[in-house]
Chains A and B, each alone.
Chain A
Amino acid sequence: MRSTFFPRRSALLLAVALILSACGMGGGSSGGDQAADAPAGTEAGGELSGTITFQTLQLQPTFTDYINGVIADFEEQHPEVTVEWVDIPFEGAAQRVITDASTGELPDVINLNPDFALPLAVQGTFVNMDEAAADIRDQYVEGAWNAFAYPQLGHGVALPWYLSTEVTMYNADHFEEAGLDPETPPATFEELYANATTIAERTDHFGMHPAMENRLLIDWAKLGVPIVNEDGTEATFDTPEAVAYLEQLTTFYEQGVISPDSVTETHTDEIEAYQAGRIALFPSGANFLTVIEENAPDIAAATRVGPQITGEDGVPGMSVMGILVPEATDNRAAALEFARFMTNAENQLAFSQIVTILPSTLESLEDPYFTEVQGDDAEAEARRISAEQIENAEVLRPVVVSEEFNAAVVDRAEAALLGQVTAQEAVTQAEQAATEVLERSAAATGR
């Protein structure tokens, strides 16, 4: 759920974290695969056998054929292995995974994002990929690998799978209406603010949407604000840059550059507002172009794409999906082999050609599909820009930042925008609240 660009729906992570801390993480085998009884722990070279379960996050029905195809290829290479695929909805996935972990029902291979994996990973639930996949580590985008290398652990626990990176989508009609050049998207925060102000002043539309629940910490990180200290035990974002950012948004709220109701709204509302033509600028994952096309064809036709707005260091942000293998699997060798197969360059390239996502393997990114993009529609442009950005991209929101942490900060930021406290007060109070969240979760996980 950390991801800026994949859909965000969970609101119950806090409850989940509490349940987790109340229950020991039971070991035990994954349920229902008696076929794996035979010792399948043969190391590389030996013939793999048995049944493994592979669980993904809401890829049906769009990618049913693709996933089944990859599974069929794998089973052809390893005739003794049977892969059972289970796809669960995104909504409720966090609770499902936590329950499964506590009761020993986890699958053998599991697809998670860094947020879902965090509470389990710090308990040592997953296989250390720095060791188990040391030979292929440098084939993946560095930042994506690091997204699953939690500081509490000191090693990675996932093979990176598909990625998404932010681009700046904007409504060219609104730009023209405001007398701005529709071919020149904003590249810096200053330009973004200037464009948003101009559009709000000269047209009936709002300039942008703060979607703070989703963007606040990431934008701070881009502006060089240190969110937490090195070992992730304290919040450290009380800086002049953070205060200035909030002051800017407060001014926008007062001037009507952002809509009054957007102060407390989320990324989902931002997408809807953009699709309704209420806002002109929409920085988000390129994958949302598909969504806009489905729901608002007229807006999609007016949409152009520019590169991600970054801070001075120019490091773009991204969001990541990974494939993990729980320690409790009773068919570790086959599970690891399947995780490698699913995330290899060839299979990821095929995946990224179905939808506007990016592969996490460097080799696939060198493919002409990304380097020599044909066509000049928004989607092709987004693909070219994304692929250029991704190699240097990092997950900007620190991995220790939980939903609860984020909520504590956003709560104070909203108070600042509404004029209940000053920006400086809000940032100071938020830092204190966020540090308390970190301390509490540290106590809960017994670090």
Chain B
Amino acid sequence: MSATTAPPRRSAQPPAVAPARRGGGRGRRWVGIALRYALLLLVLVITVGPFVWQLATSLKGAGENLFANPPDLIPNNPTLENYAAVAQVVPLTSYVRNSLVVAVASTITNCLFGAMAGYALARMRFRFRGAVLAVIVATLVIPFEVILISVFLITRSLGLVNTLPGVVLPTAVTALSIFIMRSGFLDLPREVEEAGQVDGAGEWQLFRHVALPSVRGQLAVVGIFSFTFAWDDFLWPLIVLRDPANYTLTVGIQFLSGTFSRDQAVIAAGTMMIAVAPLILLFVLLQKQFFRGVGEGAVKG
């Protein structure tokens, strides 16, 4: 699974450079580089373009046509008023707090339970292990809308309707988290754990002190996935939270666009907060782990 995180960036380098060197000719090398950067720029425009438009829109003052054609990316009267307007329209701090509680809790539970279940499925031997794995993987393909009502009924019988734990619970550990962690543990060389066993470590100690530190890359991936999923989730919080004071940011931000008004600049400012806030936070927290990967081996050779 580590292959999906850091390595592609690394392995992308050598092949791209090597043929250029073999080609020898200076011109061909420049063509190769130009082509590469042209492609990179294209991808940049596609992925970052809408984001830039949204950012530009959120900074535009009254009186500017937001849908001008071609798009006008430099605001004539740059202003932060739209951001202030978001806070006036919705109780932003409490929505952000609720979203943070939900996202952080979801990250912790997914990392913890995902790692535990993944370790058991990768390393321990017990009956029906294959069947358990199959059932967990099968849940990946069930759309949430289908089980919505039964999940709601369970949540209600637990007395968690209209509470933040009720929002976290259905996705406290997802099949994807378990699957990613299991793959991470499978990739570890058994010798390390065997060495630990020889030194007298129990199953818990092996998990906590030997296996877990070696899968930080996977933990970071699970953490980022579960954080962004919980942060962006809309339908479930809308259904389970009855009192508007408990709404999370994605639900609350809907009220920026009224039934009869759609001030795109304010909406853009609101969505920028949704998009940007968790990104910054995640990068500060997880950047190191995310790029480190797993390869820093405990076993040489």
- Contact surface of A with B, Cβ cutoff 8 Å: 6-7, 12, 15-16, 18-19, 23, 31-32, 57-63, 86-92, 95-96, 98-99, 102-103, 105, 272, 275-278, 287, 290-291, 294-299, 355-357
CA distance A58 to B255 in the complex (A): 7
B93 within 8 A of partner (CB):
no
In the complex, besides A89-B255, A98-B149, A296-B66, 10 extra interface pairs with C-beta distance below 8 angstroms are A7-B257, A86-B244, A95-B239, A96-B238, A99-B149, A277-B69, A291-B261, A294-B264, A295-B66, A295-B67
Given contacts A92-B235, A95-B148, A95-B239, contact A59 B259 (CB under 8 A): yes
Kindly supply a per-residue 1/0 record for chain B positions 64-103, scoring 1 wherever the CB is within 8 Å of any chain A CB and 0 otherwise: 1111110000000000000000000110000000000000
Q: Which residues of B contact A7 (CB under 8 A)?
A: 257, 259, 262
CA distance A98 to B265 in the complex (A): 33
Given contacts A92-B238, A297-B63, contact A61 B149 (CB under 8 A): no
Q: Which residues of B contact A62 (CB under 8 A)?
A: 258-261
Residues A294 and B149 in contact, CB atoms below 8 Å apart = no
Interface hits, B238-279 → A, CB 8 Å: 238-239, 242-244, 251, 254-255, 257-265
Interface of B: prevailing SS: loop
Interface of A: prevailing SS: loop
Give chain B nearest CB distance to A159 CB in angstroms.
18
B145 within 8 A of partner (CB):
yes
Residues B242 and A6 in contact, CB atoms below 8 Å apart = no
Q: Which residues of B contact A355 (CB under 8 A)?
A: 260-261
Kindly supply a per-residue 1/0 record for chain B positions 206-217, scoring 1 wherever the CB is within 8 Å of any chain A CB and 0 otherwise: 000000000000
Residues A103 and B149 in contact, CB atoms below 8 Å apart = yes
CA distance A105 to B243 in the complex (A): 13
- Contact surface of B with A, Cβ cutoff 8 Å: 62-69, 89-90, 143, 145-146, 148-149, 152-153, 156, 161, 234-235, 238-239, 242-244, 251, 254-255, 257-265
* Smallest CB gap from B71: residue in A: A276
Q: Which residues of A contact B148 (CB under 8 A)?
A: 19, 95, 99
* Smallest CB gap from B68: residue in A: A276
- 15 A/B residue pairs, CB under 8 Å, sorted by A: A7-B257, A7-B259, A31-B161, A59-B259, A86-B242, A86-B244, A89-B238, A89-B255, A91-B234, A91-B254, A96-B238, A99-B239, A277-B68, A295-B264, A297-B62
Please provide the 5 A-B residue pairs with the shortest distance between their CB atoms, ordered closest to farther.
A89-B254, A276-B67, A275-B67, A276-B69, A62-B258
Give chain A nearest CB distance to B18 CB in angstroms.
42
CA distance A272 to B90 in the complex (A): 25
Q: Which of B234, B239, B255, B265 contacts A60 (CB 8 A)?
A: B255
